[in-house]
Amino acid sequence: MAIKQALAVKAMEAAADGKIVAASLSEVTNGWVALVINAAGKKLVCVTQGECPLSSMWAVESSCEQEGLHVDIMPLNANNAAVIRRFIKWAAPSACGTKGTSIGFSDWLGAAGGCVAPLFAKKQVKPVLAEYSAADSALLKRNFLEAVDAATWGVLETGYKEGYGANAEGLQSEEDIVKALLYGYSMIGLDCSDKINLQIEKMSDAEVEQRYNDFPQEFRDAMRGSYLEANFQVGSEVIHFEPEQLRRIVLEYGEAIMYAQFIYNSYLKNTPWEIDFELLVAKEGKLLSPQEHYLIANELQRNGIKFAALGLNALEEGQMLEETLPVHAAIADTFGYRLSFLQADLALSDLGAAAKILKGKVHFKLSSVLWLAVWETLFSAAPELAQQMREYAGLPAADTLVPQTETGRAYALSYKTLLAPEAGNFAGQIKDVLAAEQAAYGERISVLVSNYLRTL
């Protein structure tokens, strides 16, 4: 016989000596699960009667019998977050697919909790609540599991059931890819930038041709037949390849294309759940041309590689994208994937304009929004700490921050200096302030995120 909700709530609150977070209450087999807030903070509580598949999986702090029911009281740790993701499906990340608009956030402190997800309620935009890169993981000494766990608890607390994503981006090693899959990430972002051979751009045409002629004749004939004997219509645009241009693209991007194929076939082709495969081929100082984009997409598709998004750096490639975004959008549309924009918040104030060109099929990475909300909270709630952080990071004085300005970008990127372990205890001090000023922090997040959502 199922436990009545009212009885479950009464037993939970009595056993944990606290108040249930109503939005988190979820029914499971022969029981209920919820977050309860008591004097010790937030606890996860499960009340069961009879056989419950979750019972043997929890990491339990204490147990008792209450109202004839069994009650387990548990910490919000990694083990229990994994159990929540397994049995409460809406609390687990899910793939975004190749259509629609999504927006990603990087919560480097793990302090945003449930502040972001509710802002997307009843909107045709999907939040990606854990946008975490391998580089940031190494820099901040915070692993991928912590990021997805923070998103899980935030979603559970708010009862947000409309779906969210989690992107492990900028991955280069097979080890990191395996970890991200084990942790339940719904998007795997493969960074192939170190496989791009920029030395080719410094070579003369004769040197490039000599290097290219090392390839077997059969391969060169196939490339000529595929790219030099026709023009390619993509939307209203036409892509044309010159022989010298084709040779350079193959030499420059060939290894990256092969590596993407290897990773996909080895780890992503047969996953038992849907995974978004995001490919990053952007490299500092190198702008992706329409011909390069087309060849990469074409070669991957005809080799059976299904990817959901191609990443471009909106900040580094801003001017180029302004001029060639329609053709990049047409290429993505032709091959059936989305474009994703790194550092979109630092380069684009009007997401709607880009989304319109991309027919709403786009992923924007607003990596700095939550960190800028931290700064603005500190300006008013902890000015002395904010001043210490400014001095340490060498930042100019500011009261409000516009991400697309030079000052705004400096503050946005300051997390790399201030949150690194060698900076001391800034991270701990900031977390203490945000815990005490959660309402103010949530309000700043709401204002900044809503400014972007209004443009869509």
Q: With beta carbons less than 8 A apart as the criterion, state whether 293 and 328 touch.
A: yes
Distance set, CA 309 to CA 127, 178, 336, 337, 430 (Å): 15, 20, 9, 5, 34
Q: Give 252-282 pLDDT, tens digit per residue.
A: 999 999 999 999 999 999 998 899 999 998 7
pLDDT at 108 over 80: yes
Looking at residue 315, its pLDDT comes to: 73
Looking at residue 414, its pLDDT comes to: 97
Q: With beta carbons less than 8 A apart as the criterion, state whether 43 and 58 touch.
A: no
- Name the CA dihedral angle for 303, 308, 314, 316, rounded to a multiple of 10 degrees: -30
Residue 9 half-sphere exposure toward CB, CA atoms < 13 A: 11
pLDDT at 1 over 60: no
Strands 69-74 and 18-20: unpaired
- Name the CA dihedral angle for 351, 355, 360, 366, rounded to a multiple of 10 degrees: -40
Q: Give 31-48 pLDDT, tens digit per residue.
A: 999 999 999 899 999 999
What average pLDDT does the chain have? 94
Binned at pLDDT 50, 70 and 90, residue 384 comes out as very high
Please state the separation of Cα 172 from the chain's center in Å.
15
Q: What number of other Cβ atoms are within 10 A of residue 383's Cβ?
A: 10
Share of the chain above pLDDT 70, in %: 98
pLDDT at 228 over 80: yes
223 phi-psi bin (left φ>0, alpha ψ -120 to 50, beta other): alpha
Q: Give 169-190 pLDDT, tens digit per residue.
A: 999 999 999 999 999 999 999 9
Looking at residue 317, its pLDDT comes to: 61
Mean pLDDT of the 280-306 span: 90
Q: Which of 247, 333, 236 has the alpha carbon at shortest distance from 294? A: 333
